Amino acid sequence: MKILLVKPSPQLLVAKRLQEGFLHLEPLELEMVAAGVPPEDEVIIQDLSFEKDPVLGFENKLRQFGPQIVGFTGYSSQSGLVKRLASLTKKINPDIVTVVGGTHATITPADYALNGEGIDIIVRGEGGTAFAEIVRRYKDNKPLSSGDNILSPKSADFAEKAAGPPPEFPPVDRIPRARRDLVDRSRYFCVWTSSTEKKLDTIFPRTASMRTSTGCAYSCSFCVVHHLMRGKYLQRQPEDVVDEIAQIPEDHIYFVDDETFLNKDRLTKIANLLLEKGIRKKYISWARADTIVKYPDLFRLWKQAGLSVVYVGLEAMVGSRLDKYKKRTNVDTNRKAVELLKEIGITLHASFMVDPDFSVQDFKNLEKEIIRVCPAEVTFTVFSPSPGTELWKQHKDDYIVDPYLYYDCMHTILPTKLDMNLFYAHFAKLSRVALQANPLRVNKVKVPFREMVKIIYLGTRYIFAMRNIYKDYLPGNLE
């Protein structure tokens, strides 16, 4: 049996530029789906971000490979492309079973059912165990839909099941490990600016993705993770985590957990096991500011174990905005977290959120905060309600564009106080300010000349894409 699993490409230019220049992670979700397929079956993962023409590249692969099942993943901003590819699949061969999963399918399966004519099955929630069940049912000639997580748009009870909350995730020990052998690992990277020796052989190291936990114990207003996981935080056993780390061929690992460090005892054991076994790798992870302040010794231990960079969603340095976002933290905690990471020697990657109601003065105030937290990697998003959240429902009459296709946390889907052109001029300026005080520059880290030229070129392209986001809202450009 042949199975084709497809990762859609980014659809908006600024997302493409970000992926080209700074962060391109392996399709971990599809590698985990593939792991549940019986070994006698042939599985191919196609990452369309590497295709010059994603639709043509997909069509060529489909005709060449001739699969019985095609599976798609995708975020809301990619849902339009997924629908198009599913429809194309059916035109080429109506007998191919098309399966759609991912965040958008989990949050709003009805959108795929109503607007995706070529979609046979919609998977909600965790995809690895669900897809394995689909393959079993296909081979046994049984109806493919099953339970609350494997839905057929043609089923009489589809509307009822689709309107319900996302299904519960299975126990983490039932989720298979990723089939990392199915992708060209040399193509995935993360820009790495952290160095203890003032020298880097490369700032574009091959980087593996790995998940040690799923979910988050918090419920920030803009985030859908709490809704997706029904408020649960599922954690893998330390021994299992360390065993997988040891088997990963790359020396750089990006933990894609929503928040890795919530359980101090678990993370302490993981770090100690890594040190005891002599596993020397470098890690990037996400952590909340209050977690860093609460457990500074944990981060000191992880520094020894190889933690190089911590992504922190500071979001704002204004208390009223932190309250609006329901961060359950405060400005003082944010500042303490920044100082602790500097003291420990872990590079900070600070993420700030720009609100559509920003004035020129708000942008100027944020510029000052950027200088204050640097040297650090600093990135920016635009406050946007995530599909599936209560905030999303509250703003349903306020959206100025298709809120699914433009939901990339860079395009505003809500009206801005400033003229759109001016808003994005200031938005792009934030990144220019941040790049002037990034760790490579401030710490005078030596890097290969060609790579320095490359990062300057790619960074410039990214900032230009940010600056020109306003053009996506001009008449004739809106979808």
Query: What does the pLDDT read at residue 478?
Result: 54
Q: Show the domain range for 118.
A: 2-163
What is the crossing angle of helices 238-247 and 264-276, to 10°? 40
* 439 in the same domain as 316: yes
Q: Residue 193 — φ and ψ, nearest 5°? A: -105, 0
Number of domains within the chain: 2
What CATH code is carried by the domain that includes residue 69? 3.40.50.280
* 369 in the same domain as 224: yes
* 121 in the same domain as 39: yes
Q: Is residue 326 part of a domain?
A: yes
Query: What does the pLDDT read at residue 231?
Result: 86
* 441 in the same domain as 315: yes
* 154 in the same domain as 206: no
Q: How many CB atoms lie within 10 A of CB 418?
A: 18
Of 103, 129, 163, which one is at a domain's C-terminal end?
163
Query: What does the pLDDT read at residue 172?
Result: 87
CB 440 within 8 A of CB 204: no
Nearest-angstrom CA–CA distance, 286 and 267: 13
| 418-473: pLDDT as tens digits | 999 999 999 999 999 999 888 988 888 899 999 999 999 999 999 999 999 999 99
Query: What does the pLDDT read at residue 198?
Result: 80
* 449 in the same domain as 320: yes
Q: Is residue 478 part of a domain?
A: no
Q: Is residue 459 part of a domain?
A: yes
3-state helix/strand/coil string of the chain: CEEEEEECCCCCHHHHHHHHHCEECCCHHHHHHHHCCCCCCEEEEEEHHHCCCHHHHHHHHHHHHCCCEEEECCCHHHHHHHHHHHHHHHHHCCCCEEEECCHHHHHCHHHHHHHCCCCCEEECCCCHHHHHHHHHHHHCCCCCCECCCEECCCCCCHHHHHHCCCCCCCCHHHCCCCCHHHCCHHHCEECCCCCCCCECCCCCCEEEEECCEEECCCCCCCCCHHHHCCCCEEECCHHHHHHHHHHCCCCEEEECCCCCCCCHHHHHHHHHHHHHCCCCCEEEEECCHHHHHHCHHHHHHHHHHCEEEEEEEEECCCHHHHHHCCCCCCHHHHHHHHHHHHHHCCEEEEEEEECCCCCHHHHHHHHHHHHHHCCCEEEEEECCCCCCCHHHHHCCCCCCCCCCCCCCCCCCCCCCCCCHHHHHHHHHHHHHHHHHCCHHHHCCCECCHHHHHHHHHHHHHHHHHHHHHHHHHCCCCCC
Q: Is residue 22 part of a domain?
A: yes
Residue stretches of the chain with pLDDT short of 70:
116, 478-479
* 102 in the same domain as 202: no
Of 129, 163, 197, which one is at a domain's C-terminal end?
163
